[in-house]
């Protein structure tokens, strides 16, 4: 049974009857889309297990190698910066050679980084430590790009839920990755490697396996199939500068795309700045490592568990309404953190809501961006947005440390509310954005 007719943007009205729309609606595209989703789900689960080791065991390893809390804090920034640095190059690879080549390259680069971390952990070497963490950030960039790959051949009505599914399955890796120290202890007893080295060895195997699977199985390539709808794109100049100019030109004239980018960046900055400093705040308040671990685990669950629902809401009721709900959830989280910073129960609730708010704003923003960006700038612009969002997250996390040291958790929460203002203004604007296609 069909639902009620929903507003259709000018972009999607123009799409109807075009070669692109015909390809998306073809049986061949539907078959390729199902295969693509299956491959992405499998590799996302396996790959994010390897990626998930960096924010926890990577930070612990940095502290063990450097014996310096400041260096340990920079470890998370290193992997996030790696994700930022690899976002645009991987997007450009996808634009030129397709998703299969870009995704497999990213997973394999991350596997190399994890292998370097094995040596760094075993030999307590500082330089390889940060090189490895920088390279493993490519895994985060690929994990983000995979969610866009899921939308290449999805019908406009289904883009949000397709993207959200890939975000959701990343929950598995995000939960298992930080706990690789447990099987690492078993390997350590059998091989003589340190626990940290063993954990990164498992991560390297997972990341390498994800790269091999996507390279062998992502055929036909969804982005290359989509390009058949735009023959001119195949003969367009491949110069990097040309692609960057197209991205900037796209954002200048495409208002819904600008809203999507602001939403993605805002979600990353608010989430990263508050989440990164919460373990420090809990420790300062006398909380145990168990409380820290439980709080972060609940936060991660909040980020990913509701993704399918968020994708459905973005498709069914529109990205603006979904983003609005996300902003309100963010505000509830930050108000709790500002008013009750000394209560561990409230801090836990605040971090859960922080994750849910990120999910609503980020998933809706990414779904909107994948829907309104032109085919010509699709892969490069998606990679550029991912790179910029990771860079903003790294800067937010980096600045949050000195800010917390100079003030307190309440001030940090209040300043995070200020960051929400530009997005709120854009959401309240009258600019129409795509909702769905009947």
pLDDT in tens, 377-414: 677 787 778 888 888 888 887 788 788 878 899 999 99
Vertex 273: Cα angle to 268 and 277 (nearest 5): 140
Nearest to 79 by CA among 418, 379, 414, 390: 390
- Range of weakest confidence among 333-347, 387-401, 422-436: 422-436
Q: Report the C-alpha gap between 115 and 107 in whole angstroms.
A: 12
| 288-317 pLDDT tens trace | 656 766 777 788 888 888 888 999 998 888
Each domain of the chain, given as residue ranges in start order, spans 10-428
What's the whole-number average pLDDT of the chain? 82
Q: Which fold has domain 10-428?
A: Growth Hormone; Chain: A; (1.20.1250)
Contact 162, 173 (CB under 8 A): no
| 341-383 pLDDT tens trace | 989 899 999 999 999 999 999 999 988 988 888 766 677 787 7
| 190-249 pLDDT tens trace | 888 988 899 899 999 999 999 999 999 999 999 888 877 655 444 444 444 455 566 677
- Range of weakest confidence among 109-118, 299-308, 424-433: 424-433
**Cα→Cα distances 390→6, 140, 267, Å:** 33, 9, 11
- Tell me, what's the pLDDT at 23? 60
Q: Report the C-alpha gap between 427 and 368 in whole angstroms.
A: 13
The helix (run of H) or strand (run of E) holding residue 287 is: none
92-96, 172-176, 284-288 — which one is most confidently predicted on average? 92-96
Q: Report the C-alpha gap between 367 and 156 in whole angstroms.
A: 9
Q: Report the C-alpha gap between 148 and 369 in whole angstroms.
A: 9
Would you state the structure tokens that stand for residue 241, as one six-digit string? 């500068």
* pTM, full prediction: 0.76
Contacts of 264 (CB under 8 A, 6+ apart): 361, 362, 365, 366, 369, 385, 389
Whether the upstream peptide bond of residue 393 has omega within 30° of 0, thus cis, is no
């Amino acid at each position: 049974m069909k639902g009620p007719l929903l507003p259709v943007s000018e972009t999607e009205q123009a799409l109807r009857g075009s070669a692109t729309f015909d390809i998306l609606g073809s049986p061949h595209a539907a078959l390729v889309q199902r295969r693509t989703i299956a491959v992405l789900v499998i590799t996302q689960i396996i790959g994010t297990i390897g990626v998930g080791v960096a924010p926890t065991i990577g930070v612990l390893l940095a502290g063990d190698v450097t014996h310096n809390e400041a260096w340990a804090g920079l470890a998370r920034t290193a992997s996030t910066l790696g994700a930022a640095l690899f976002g645009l190059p991987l997007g450009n690879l996808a634009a030129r050679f397709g998703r299969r080549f870009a995704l497999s390259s990213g997973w394999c680069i991350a596997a190399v980084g994890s292998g370097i971390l094995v040596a760094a952990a075993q030999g307590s070497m500082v330089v390889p430590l940060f090189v490895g963490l920088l390279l493993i950030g490519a895994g985060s960039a690929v994990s983000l790009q995979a969610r866009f790959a899921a939308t290449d051949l999805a019908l406009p009505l289904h883009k949000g839920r397709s993207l959200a599914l890939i975000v959701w399955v990343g929950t598995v890796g995000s939960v298992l990755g930080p706990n690789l120290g447990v099987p690492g202890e078993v390997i350590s007893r059998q091989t003589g490697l340190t626990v940290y080295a063993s954990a990164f060895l498992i991560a390297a195997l997972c990341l390498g396996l994800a790269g091999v699977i996507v390279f062998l199985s992502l055929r036909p390539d969804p982005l290359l199939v989509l390009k058949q709808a735009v023959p001119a794109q195949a003969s367009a100049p491949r110069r990097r500068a040309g692609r960057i100019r197209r991205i900037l030109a796209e954002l200048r004239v495409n208002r819904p795309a600008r809203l999507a980018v602001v939403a993605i960046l805002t979600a990353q900055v608010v989430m990263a700045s508050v989440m990164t400093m919460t373990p420090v705040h809990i420790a300062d308040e006398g909380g145990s490592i168990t409380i820290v671990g439980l709080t972060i685990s609940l936060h991660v669950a909040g980020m990913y568990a509701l993704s399918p629902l968020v994708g459905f809401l973005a498709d069914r009721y529109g990205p603006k309404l979904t983003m609005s709900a996300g902003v309100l959830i963010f505000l509830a989280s930050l108000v709790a953190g500002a008013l009750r910073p000394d209560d561990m129960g409230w801090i836990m609730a605040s971090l859960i809501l922080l994750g849910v708010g990120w999910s609503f704003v980020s998933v809706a923003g990414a779904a909107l961006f994948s829907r309104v960006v032109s085919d010509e700038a699709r892969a490069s612009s998606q990679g550029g947005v991912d790179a910029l969002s990771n860079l903003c997250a790294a800067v937010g996390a980096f600045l949050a440390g000195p800010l917390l040291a100079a003030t307190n958790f309440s001030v940090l929460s209040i300043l995070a509310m200020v960051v929400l203002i530009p997005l709120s203004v854009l959401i309240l604007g009258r600019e129409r954005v795509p909702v769905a296609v009947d």
